[in-house]
Chain A
Amino acid sequence: MSRLIVELKNAHKIFNNNVHALRGVDFEVQEGEVVALIGPSGSGKSTLLRCINQLERLDDGKLSLWGKAFGPRETIPKNLRQNMGMIFQHFNLFPHLSVKQNITVPLRAVKRIQKIESDEIAEEMLKKVGLFDKTNSFPHQLSGGQKQRVAIARSLAMSPRLMLCDEPTSALDPELVQEVVQVLRRLADEGMTMILVTHELGLARNRAQRVVFMEAGKIIEEGTPERLFNSPLHERTKGFISQVLR
């Protein structure tokens, strides 16, 4: 029994420099599903992701979250926003706060819980990403891979039901990619619903139930990883995949 938690219908986004970043996108995600979003740079992957949590507003079309529909002018309520965690390419840790405070300060602000409780959650999340020993470090003392794992822990502390990951390993040195991939893989195994913008085709192949290929603001084709990677229907997809795998 699966449930639709994200649904975009005929989504259009035009930035004020007249870039038409989304050109009528239909996109949906079921509960528990891991969807990999791939495509060349500038194809609108980030924009699609950011329209789901309204970091960007649609110019036309409809967004539905957990069955509630929102037009381009309607703001999604705070509780739905809190259901969606986001992982950024450049981590966006708070540099003035320690690793632990990066988790507890937003947690206490949003959930209005006691310090003891937020400290416990922070420790639990840091254990989960294997960084318990960095509790009192500051972001600038961490490697890129460690920063991204803290960002994941920070996001998970809010107990989101959907994770939006925008190229979580793209800013990392190659030798640090695997530690982050591992954490994401474990998250998928635990049943987290995820939309994963990534160039890590390995991760997409292993964990995604569905791969979506975008180009020039449109979804060109989608399918299971085996189908899409092994026998892409479109020339565009074929070209992109061979280029990335090269």
Chain B
Amino acid sequence: MGVSNTPSILLSRPVRLTFVILICSVVSWLLMRSFAYHWQWETIPKWTIVIKRGLITTLIFSVASVFFASIIGTLLSLLSISKIPIVRDIYAVFIEVVRNTPLLVQILIGYFVIGSVFNLSAIVAGIAALSIFTSAYIAEIIRGGIESVDKGQREAAYTLGMSSAQTTWLIVMPQAIRISLPSLTGQLVSTIKDSSLLSVIAVQELTLATQQAISNSAASFEFWIMNAILYFVICFPLSRLVGLMEKRMKARVS
């Protein structure tokens, strides 16, 4: 290791991060002071129960959606490696439509159109819409995983006499999912934030709870800031976990 690589104490990462956070805090504090607004942080504790319930609902909806989306996404990813061209086309159309239209619109159609045809509650329609939306991303993640599995793996399975389905489920898919785990965790982060849109169909999740607190008190920005902080507190550790998993995976490959 060269001398030039040795960082001085002043420039080490924790010190730099503390510095950045400090600067940001000072700037925010100055902004808040000059903003002509009567801050009422003391109202927040009164809403603890509602907010807590919203937070739990957000977590349950996100985990449930990612769970269902993982199943749907895994099955969908199989379409992408089908030998039948039309099956691959169906996959491509589904992925492109879901990923290139707003989730908000998908939730509204899911609840008010499809939901009313099949008589679905907001909870069911909400989880269904979020699951299908997320499944498109997960399918693409797993497809990437499948493609990154060395083709020698399929060849070995073929020469051992395994069928194509056996090869996919016993050899390729377990490796593809393992490769995809960091990205799948990352998807959970996105879904937690995406789930805030379920507030439009009156699912009592964190963002709707926040809105309710605001409309029943005079403190709007306080609650929005609290809302952002709560999402951050949940999502940030998960994001760090993604980085950690990626590092560990790289270490194992080499």
**Min C-beta distance of A58 to chain B, whole Å:** 17
A-contacting residues, B139-198, CB 8 Å? 150, 152-153, 155-163, 166, 170-171, 174-175, 178
Which A72-109 residues have C-beta < 8 A from chain B?
A: 78, 81-82, 84-86, 88, 90, 92-96, 105-106, 109
CB distance A110 to B160 under 8 Å?
yes
CB-CB under 8 A for A55 and B161, given A109-B166, A109-B170: no
Q: A95-B175, A96-B178 are in contact. Are A81 and B170 (CB under 8 A)?
A: no
Contact B170 A53 (CB under 8 A): no
Among A90, A95, A140, A155, contact of B159 (Cβ-Cβ < 8 Å): A155
CA distance in complex: A94, B159 (Å)? 13
Pairwise interchain contact A81-B156, C-beta atoms closer than 8 A: no
Find out whether the CB atom of B170 lies under 8 angstroms from the CB atom of A55.
no
Could you say which residues of chain A place their CB within 8 Å of the CB of B161? 78, 81-82, 106, 110, 158
- B252 at interface, CB cutoff 8 A: yes
Choice from B160, B163, B166, B171 contacting A154 with Cβ under 8 Å: B160
Are B162 and A92 within 8 A (Cβ)? no
Contact B159 A105 (CB under 8 A): no
Partner among A90, A95, A158 whose Cβ is within 8 Å of the Cβ of B160: A158
Interface size of A by CB at 8 A reads: 25
- Give the interface SS of chain A, mostly helix, strand, loop or mixed: mixed
Cα separation A204 to B108 with both chains bound (whole Å): 72
Chain A nearest CB, measured from B143 CB (Å): 18
Q: Give min CB distance, A213 to chain B, whole Å.
A: 25
The binding surface of chain B is classed by DSSP as helix
Q: Is the CB of B159 within 8 A of A81?
A: yes
Q: Mark B183-216, 1 if CB is under 8 A from A, else 0.
A: 0000000000000000000000000000000000
* A90–B153 CA distance with the chains assembled, in angstroms: 10
What's the nearest-Cβ distance from chain B to residue A79, in Å?
Answer: 8
What is the number of residues of chain B that contact chain A, defined by CB distance less than 8 Å? 19
Asked whether A96 and B174 contact (CB < 8 A) given A88-B156, A90-B152, the answer is yes
Nearest B residue (CB) for A109:
B166
Evaluate whether A84 and B166 lie within 8 angstroms (CB atoms) in the complex, with A92-B152, A92-B153, A140-B252 already known: no
**A88 and B160 contact, Cβ closer than 8 Å, known pairs A96-B174, A140-B252:** no
> A92 to B175, Cβ gap below 8 A?
no
Closest to A164 in B: B159
A contact residues around B157 at 8 Å (CB): 106
Query: Can you name the residue of chain B whose Cβ is closest to the Cβ of A85?
Result: B159
Are A88 and B158 interface neighbours, CB within 8 A? no
- Of residues B150, B156, B162, which shows the largest number of chain A Cβ atoms within 10 Å of its Cβ? B156
The reply to whether B152 and A84 contact each other, CB–CB distance below 8 Å, is: no
For B30-41 the 0/1 string (1 means CB < 8 A from A) is 000000000000
B162 neighbours in A (Cβ, 8 Å): 106, 109-110
Using A105-B170, A109-B170 as known contacts, say yes or no to A84 and B159 having CB atoms under 8 A apart. yes
Across-interface contacts of B160 in A (CB, < 8 A): 82, 85, 106, 110, 154-155, 158
Q: How far is the CA of A88 from the CA of B175 in the complex (A)?
A: 20
10 closest A-B pairs (Cβ-Cβ)? Answer: A82-B161, A92-B156, A86-B159, A92-B152, A106-B160, A110-B161, A109-B166, A96-B174, A96-B175, A109-B162
A-B contact pairs, 6 of them (CB 8 A): A86-B159, A95-B175, A96-B178, A110-B166, A151-B156, A158-B160
Give me 14 other A-B pairs in contact (C-beta within 8 A), A81-B159, A81-B161 excluded: A55-B158, A78-B163, A81-B158, A82-B161, A86-B155, A88-B152, A88-B155, A95-B175, A96-B174, A105-B170, A106-B161, A106-B162, A109-B166, A110-B161
